[in-house]
Structure 1
Amino acid sequence: MRELKILVINNYGQFCHLIHRSVRDLDMDTKIVPNTTPIEEILDEEPDGLILSGGPTMERSGMCSEYLESIDKPVLGICLGHQLIAKTFGGEVGPGASGGYAAIKIEIVDEDELLKGLGPTMSVWASHADEVASLPEDFIQLARSDICEYEAMRHVERPIFGVQWHPEVAHTEKGEKLLENFLEICETY
């Protein structure tokens, strides 16, 4: 695999630097950029893909919606990033029944190119203080759990993916494989 350039969009989540390190450890060129970076500056970086990090609130999500609408590159949204994708494309986000970080067993319902080799179930580390409550039009469900119907999703045409869980943390099974799968998507797009 050639060295790709992945921009990690910083939504002020506690694991943003860990996402960066996890991608760097896969021998990728990666850089953390503020979520207020103008679109032209993002494009000047010539990224092969974007990762929207987690974060505390939608109110601090900067220009993420504009990136999703304007930049034609593969995108992986993690936690808040997943929710931002849903909201940008017309889905609904609401409070989850379970709050803080915990181990969750997820069921993969569609083993697409992001989740290939991960199923049929796995244990992941996730927060469900907020979660995707309804899928946007043009998105399909990829994974679910007993506490959240939309643990993962993807756009039906564009390479835009969201996961509620954190693949970058050691508590998540096969998290590195998910990131490798995303990098393969970026390489072939």
Structure 2
Amino acid sequence: MRELKILVINNYGQFCHLIHRSVRDLDMDTKIVANTIPIDDILDEEPDGLILSGGPALDRAGICSEYIESIDLPILGICLGHQLIAKTFGGGVGPGPSGGYANIEIEIVDEDEILKGLGPRTSVWASHADEVVSLPGDFIQLARSNICEYEAMRHVERPIFGVQWHPEVAHTEKGEQLLTNFFEICEKY
């Protein structure tokens, strides 16, 4: 696979720099950018894909919704990024029954290209202080757990994916595989 340029959109999550490092360690060109920079500045970077990092709250997500709506590139939302994608397309986000970070067993409902090689079950590190509580139109469910129905999703036409868990942390099984799957999507796009 050729080296791709992946921009990590900083939503002030504690693992943003770890996402950046994980992408770099997988031999991709990567850069962290603020979630408030204009769309033209993002496009000037000529990225192959965007990763929306996790973060503390939807109200600190800058103009991520504009990026999701307007930028025609593969997008992977992680935790808050997943929730931002859902909210942008009309899905519901609310408090989860189980806050704080924990090891969660995920059931892959639809392996799809983003979850290729992860199923049928995998163990991940996730916070469910907030979560997607209703799937937006034009999205399909890819994974669930016993505490959250929408652990992963994708847009039916555009290469937009969301996962509630953190593939960039060591506690997540096959996290590198998920990121590599995303890079393969970016390379094809």
Please name the residue that 1:112 is paired with: 112
Whole-Å Cα distance in 2 between the matches of residues 166 and 116 of structure 1? 16
Give the ranges of 4+ consecutive aligned residues of structure 1 lying more than 2 Å apart after TM superposition. Answer: none
Shift of 1:7: 0.1
Q: How many residues align?
A: 189
Please name the residue that 1:185 is paired with: 185
Please name the residue that 1:16 is paired with: 16
Q: Which amino acid aligns with 2:140?
A: I
Shift of 1:74: 0.1
Whole-Å Cα distance in 2 between the matches of residues 50 and 118 of structure 1? 21
Listed one character per residue, the Cα deviations across residues 92-119 of structure 1 (whole Å, up to 9, x for unaligned) are 0000000000000000000000000110
Structure 1 unaligned runs (5+)? none
Please name the residue that 2:159 is paired with: 159
Please name the residue that 2:75 is paired with: 75
Query: Aligned-residue CA RMSD in angstroms?
Result: 0.3
Q: Does residue 135 of structure 1 match 2:135?
A: yes
Listed one character per residue, the Cα deviations across residues 93-146 of structure 1 (whole Å, up to 9, x for unaligned) are 000000000000000000000000110001000000000000000000000000
Whole-Å Cα distance in 2 between the matches of residues 131 and 75 of structure 1? 18
| TM-score with structure 2 setting the length | 1.00
% identical equivalent positions: 86
Q: Per the alignment, in what secondary structure is the counterpart of residue 7 of structure 1?
A: strand
Q: Which amino acid aligns with 2:72?
A: D
Whole-Å Cα distance in 1 between the matches of residues 173 and 11 of structure 2? 24
Please name the residue that 1:172 is paired with: 172
Structure 1 residues 79-98: aligned runs within 5 Å: 79-98=79-98
